[in-house]
Amino acid sequence: MSEQTPTTSASPTGDLPGPVRLRVAPSPTGDPHVGTAYMALFNLAFARQQGGRFLLRVEDTDRARLVEGSEQQVFDTLRWLGLTWDEGPDIGGPCAPYRQSERLTTYAPYVERLLAEGHAYRCWCSTERLAAMREEQQRLKQPTGYDRLCVGKTEEERRALPGFSETPVVRMLVPDDVETGFDDLIRGRMSAPRPDDQVILKADGFPTYHLAVVVDDHEMGITHVVRGEEWVSSTPKHVLLYRWLGLEPPRFAHMPLLRNENKSKISKRKNPEARLTWFEEEGYLPEALVNFLGLLAYPPAQDAEGHDVEVFTFEEFSQRFDWADVNPVGPIFDLKKLDWLNGVHIRELALADLTSRLLPYLQRAEVLGPNPSLGELARLEQVVALIQTRMAHLTEAADLVAPFYAADDAVEVADDARAQLKDDAAATLDAALAALGDLPDEHDGVLGSEATWRAEAIEAALRTALVEGLGLKPKFAFGPLRTAVSGRRVSPPLFESMEILGKGATLTRLATLRATL
């Protein structure tokens, strides 16, 4: 594998656990973005492969954009996906605290050092002046950026000029000849435009992302910074801060952005699937989503015949992971592919496992109550065995399962199911009632007989009565029965459904529909 040897970063806290240390650092500003899981997956895969540590850090210095409950959503969704961390705000660790808002005293000495050594300066420009400056630069088609009015001035000197603010910020003093190149594990040697004098400490005393990320990554011993390519332009600022502060920078890997089919960036404002919580709501399995994210920007393994192996576990992905194989071109977020993968993973689940996973969705749809009986649960497992191959989403189960828990004399018949009933539906139901009425059930003292209430016997009796007796084609013979039993045009296998319902329930449902014709 290439580029697998880490560059060790000295840490003020002494030796930290793990030969490599990686992190994901979301901001709690709303529903977690699917990109958070995407980044977490690649960070965690490499950390586990190398026997290292994976950290979760909450970057909450932008106080105006904080959303209550968002942090807990990050914890919940990443744990749902199985992308768990070794250190973080909720579990602690040797570098605690892991929330930036709780680390304000940590950043102050770094700011003071940059000021003292002439790498930073205080800026007293008001927001109104800065807005007017940018507007004028845009009007003149000049590059936008701070014009350094405050450089070299004392507070008194700056106060005498227009656009003064009582509360200053602190800015980097970026040299005109600053080196903007850096090495990237995915993209090789890169460069970015020269940055302007970036604010590193805001007027409210909170650091900006650029200072906080450098300080925190250093203090937490981060060896590899893996993040989206939108941060490429910021990396020279961070490398410069590392150099000024005498710190060893981590290795950088900039992942390609997730894109829609029209090549635009996926956003929570325009794409519901950009919300990480959406996937659980829509009935996706966490292992299917992890599988899908692992196919984005990374090639599948090959089998012995050279065919792509697109279905894999996190462990299999981690074992073969190599930064050199990451495709830098932004991958298309293809929900059809995810649907296919979800169906594959659903079919691979053990029956009891799938049943337990479906239960919350069925309760949410009020198919089952909050405390289902043992009998209801036993029936559910029988029904799930019939529908396991018929679902792409767990949410699809409610419509398939609901008829099995409806009152037998009150099955709701869908309009499209009733509309397909032909003129001979009444005669068909009469013949079915007669044939099934003669079929003994398990309580008739003939257990073990081929004529007991089993799917095979039910099918044989109905084919004899309807196909052979009435001369109907199976499609037309069994349609009215399906409508009576399930109320749907499309349902789980008919004869197996009748077996689960039992003889009495089945006859009641057939007779109920017959009475309406």
Backbone φ and ψ for 92, nearest 5 degrees, come out as 80, -165
**What are 182's strand-pairing partners?**
190
Q: Is 265 annotated as a binding residue?
A: no
- Provide the token pair at 13: 């806290």
Strand order through the sheet with 181-184: 188-191, 181-184, 251-255, 224-228
- For residue 176, give the DSSP letter: T
List the catalytic residue out of 268, 336, 422, 473: 268
What whole-number distance in Å separates Cα of residue 515 and Cα of residue 241? 82
**CA neighbor of 255 nearest in space, from 214, 211, 194, 296:** 296
Residues present in the chain in total: 517
Give SS3 for 275: strand
Q: 403 preceded by cis ω (within 30°)?
A: no
Backbone φ and ψ for 366, nearest 5 degrees, come out as 65, 25
141 in active site = no
What's the Cα-to-Cα distance from 289 to each of 80, 343, 446, 448, 490, rounded to whole Å? 11, 11, 49, 45, 28
**CA neighbor of 506 nearest in space, from 446, 397, 429:** 429
Helix (H) or strand (E) holding 255: strand 251-255
End-to-end CA distance of the chain: 71
**CA neighbor of 78 nearest in space, from 213, 217, 280, 270:** 280
- For residue 207, give the DSSP letter: B
**CA neighbor of 353 nearest in space, from 381, 328, 326:** 381
Interstrand relation of 53-56 and 21-24 (parallel, antiparallel or unpaired): parallel
Indicate the annotated binding residues for ATP.
268
Indicate the annotated binding residues.
268
| Residues annotated as part of the active site | 268
